[in-house]
A and B are shown apart, each in its own frame.
Chain A
Amino acid sequence: MIRGVVRYVDERTGGAPFVRKALRYVFPDHWSFLLGEVALYLFMLLVATGTYLTFFFDDSVTPTTYYGTYAPLDGAQMSHAYQSVLHISFAVKAGLLIRQTHHWAADVFVATIVLHLMRVFFTGAFRKPRDLTYLLGVAMLGLALLEGFLGYSLVDDLLSGMGLAIGYSVALSIPLVGAPLATLLWGGPFPGSASFLPRLYIAHVLIIPILIGAILTLHLALVASRHHTQFKRTPRETERRVVGVPTFPGQVPRSLGLLCATWGVLFLLGGLVQVNPVWLWGPFHVGDATNGAQPDWYLGWLIGALRLVPSFDVVIGGYTVVPNPFWGGALFPLVVFSIVGLWPWLERKVTGDDAFHNLLDRPRDNPSRTGAGMALFVWVFLVFLAGSADRVYVWLGLSYSHQIWGYRVLVIVAPVLAFFITRRVCRELLAGERAALVRTTAEDASHV
């Protein structure tokens, strides 16, 4: 029976050689290689839950009066978009579960991409021949951030309105092209024309997911064609030989297990922990605001940057050429993404290392790269922390302006320190290993 089906498919597709090759593909065994896989499963979960949500979401900003099940908003003026999200949350079967799972999955999706990126960076997996694979990965991270922002901006609640207001100001602040660009996207001054939300919607559910899907396919195809990297743990692993388990029967059950675990964790979270309770935030009307409004965590570094940049504009001849939000909201992420994305080429330029690398470095094996990576991480992380200075003030009573000034000093000093300390630690670890090796060799020699 199975043989018959297989023959039927093979006769019509000629896929047997490809499938045989795929089943024998070798997966090197280190747990950190699974992080990217988790991100892939989260993307699948996002598409699945997102599709369900599209059945009930309404992308119209036409005002309406709410008479739904959530009593504290009874009679409130709101857009159809926000009303439909209240409907999803309170009336649609499993609506709130799916919505919350979708939101949590987005938060965790970006987190796992970041971890995956750090693994690839600190082990030098991005080196030739995988620099292109790496660049595609960084592009997906950027798209994921944008996709997340569009997603929670669609809801048209108080937080999304405030977030879009900041996005609009940052767009306006881009020198020369800012104003026409913002007018083009929003279809007029903030909050924009009636066609703005439908534009966000189509970008969120079609354009960006397809872009991510296409880049993802290319990313995986490149991974497969150049093969995975591996750590050198035994003499069997060399630049020319991959050691690991085959797709089947080795990797498939593990991957399926990981898929189930990933989805399981996310559905548990979606069912048990409240995320973005939009009914509490209320509808957005221009001029309304709530204290302590924050973006989702993965954009926290941009809010931090907007707060840390001292207040100044570049004014020439009475014209504000570069308004302040540009530095923190646009230039800062551009710089970070440029450094991260172009790192393989930067490193090659500095080291002159143009060789093929299939074996990974341990972080200590390349002290300067690890130091630079830590410096970059510390820099972005401190800016990220600065974004929560107001909450820290409410919590611990640490003066807000003192915190901001502290961060302004730290973001300059700490990365430099991080570089030298990390490099030193790596070198000491290597020296320790060499000493241990010399000792064992000497002991072996004396035994003989």
Chain B
Amino acid sequence: MTRVALTLLVLVALAAPAALADSGPPRQGVVIDPGQHGAGLVGEGASLYAANCASCHGPHGVGVLKARRGAGDVPGQGPPLLGVGALSADFYLRTGYMPLENPSQQPSRSRVLFPEEEIRAMVAYVASLGEGPGIPRPQPQKGSVAAGNTLFLQNCAGCHQIVGAGGYVTGARVPPLEEATDRQIAEAVRIGPYLMPHFSEQRLTNTQLNSLIAYVDYAKHPDDAGGWSIGHLGPWPEGLVAWLIATSALVATCIVIGKRLKA
């Protein structure tokens, strides 16, 4: 996305030197009124937003409901961000879910493209667009792993797999939870990114959320009383071990013993 923005910048610079001399370079098609947001964190966020987000989320986060040609000929389309709050922006930017290469893609965990201060600026800007939830501060140490285990089994395991190894559901790849931080889990539960349902505080209280996060953290390194865990994926890797390790070893034994019979 940044590369796209840079290309565009170059194009603009080549095509309209006169305009450049006039008012400085518009970062990407969307012109920001510097007086509107001020020069602080929100102002910086606004220009970052204009350069990286506006082609899909529209000017001032109003959204682009019908796909239209945007930067780099990618048809931009995206939901409005009015009222999503700091919570959503924080989640999507820190997981690398956004910016998205193509709006029809499923967002997935990828390299975070922005330095810390730029993320803070964009989060502040998105939060300023409308009243919305702030960044959650979960406290899993106050939750109970056992309660979380039951909650996870009832609400999450059907898609995320019982120890959060991820999987497939119709139309989406369910992400594994190995790399999810406590804050990201809390945010995802409230947002419901992509196909995931969102859980309001009525459906899942903050206390329950703490327990749930405690369980997900436990499930990253669960009790492997039986030895080598082979990925907690169940029968799938077990079959590989049965054939590639055990059966191979036994066939090798047969060959050795069979050889000795000839001697």
Query: What are the residues of chain A within 8 A of B150 when measuring CB–CB?
Result: 76
Q: Which of A1-9, A250-258, A433-441 is near enough to bind chain B?
A: A250-258
Q: Does A223 make an interface contact (CB < 8 A)?
A: no
Q: Return the CB mask of B225-238 against A: 1 if under 8 Å, else 0.
A: 11111101111101
Residue pair A115, B226 in contact (C-beta under 8 Å)? no
Residue pair B243, A297 in contact (C-beta under 8 Å)? yes
Q: Return the CB mask of B158-190 against A: 1 if under 8 Å, else 0.
A: 111111011111000110100000000000000
Q: Does B253 make an interface contact (CB < 8 A)?
A: yes
Residue pair B250, A38 in contact (C-beta under 8 Å)? yes
Q: Does A108 make an interface contact (CB < 8 A)?
A: yes
Q: How far is the CA of A34 from the CA of B238 in the complex (A)?
A: 24
Residue pair B254, A273 in contact (C-beta under 8 Å)? no
Residue pair B145, A71 in contact (C-beta under 8 Å)? yes
- Which residue of A has the minimal Cβ distance to B224? A274
Which of B149, B226, B247, B249 touches A274 (beta carbons < 8 Å)? B226
Q: Return the CB mask of A147-183 against B: 1 if under 8 Å, else 0.
A: 0000000000011000000000000000000000000
Which of B173, B218, B233, B242 touches A297 (beta carbons < 8 Å)? B242
Query: What are the residues of chain B within 8 A of A73 when measuring CB–CB?
Result: 146, 149
Query: What are the residues of chain A within 8 A of B3 when measuring CB–CB?
Result: none
Residue pair A290, B254 in contact (C-beta under 8 Å)? no
Residue pair B258, A32 in contact (C-beta under 8 Å)? yes
- Which residue of B has the minimal Cβ distance to A300? B239
On whether A111 and B254 interact (CB within 8 A), knowing A72-B218, A277-B224, A282-B162, the answer reads: no
Q: Does A207 make an interface contact (CB < 8 A)?
A: no
Number of A-B contacts (CB under 8 A): 200
Q: Does A394 make an interface contact (CB < 8 A)?
A: yes
Main secondary structure of the interface of B (DSSP, over half): helix
Residue pair A272, B227 in contact (C-beta under 8 Å)? yes
Q: Does B18 make an interface contact (CB < 8 A)?
A: no
Query: What are the residues of chain B within 8 A of A238 when measuring CB–CB?
Result: none
Q: Which of A16-24, A259-267, A330-338 is near enough to bind chain B?
A: A259-267
Residue pair A292, B246 in contact (C-beta under 8 Å)? no
Q: By the criterion of a CB under 8 Å from any partner CB, how many residues of chain A are at the interface?
A: 70
On whether A291 and B154 interact (CB within 8 A), knowing A29-B258, A31-B255, A261-B250, the answer reads: no
Residue pair A295, B235 in contact (C-beta under 8 Å)? yes
Nearest chain A CB to B157 CB, angstrom units: 4
Nearest chain B CB to A303 CB, angstrom units: 10
- Which residue of B has the minimal Cβ distance to A391? B236
Q: How far is the CA of A245 from the CA of B262 in the complex (A)?
A: 9
Nearest chain B CB to A164 CB, angstrom units: 15
Q: Could you say which interface size class chain B belongs to? A: 35 or more
Those of B204-263 within 8 Å (CB) of chain A: 215, 218-219, 222-230, 232-236, 238-239, 241-243, 245-247, 249-251, 253-255, 257-262
Q: Does A366 make an interface contact (CB < 8 A)?
A: no
Residue pair A280, B163 in contact (C-beta under 8 Å)? yes
Nearest chain B CB to A309 CB, angstrom units: 17
Residue pair A108, B242 in contact (C-beta under 8 Å)? yes
- Which residue of B has the minimal Cβ distance to A66? B146
Which of A254, A271, A273, A288 touches B257 (beta carbons < 8 Å)? A254
- Which residue of A has the minimal Cβ distance to B214? A72
Q: How far is the CA of A269 from the CA of B245 in the complex (A)?
A: 9
Q: Does A248 make an interface contact (CB < 8 A)?
A: no
Q: How far is the CA of A273 from the CA of B249 in the complex (A)?
A: 15
Residue pair B153, A158 in contact (C-beta under 8 Å)? yes
Nearest chain A CB to B221 CB, angstrom units: 12
Query: What are the residues of chain B within 8 A of A34 when measuring CB–CB?
Result: 254, 257-258
Q: How far is the CA of A34 from the CA of B145 in the complex (A)?
A: 49
Apart from A35-B251, A38-B254, A108-B242, what are 11 other A-B pairs with CB-CB below 8 Å? Answer: A31-B259, A72-B149, A76-B150, A108-B250, A111-B242, A111-B246, A111-B247, A265-B250, A269-B241, A276-B235, A300-B239
7 contacts between A and B (CB under 8 A): A72-B223, A90-B225, A112-B247, A272-B228, A282-B149, A290-B157, A294-B236
Interface residues of A (CB under 8 A from B): 27, 29-35, 38, 70-76, 89-90, 96, 100, 104, 107-108, 111-112, 115, 158-159, 245, 250-251, 254, 257-258, 261-262, 265-266, 269, 271-277, 279-282, 288-298, 300, 388-391, 393-394, 397, 400
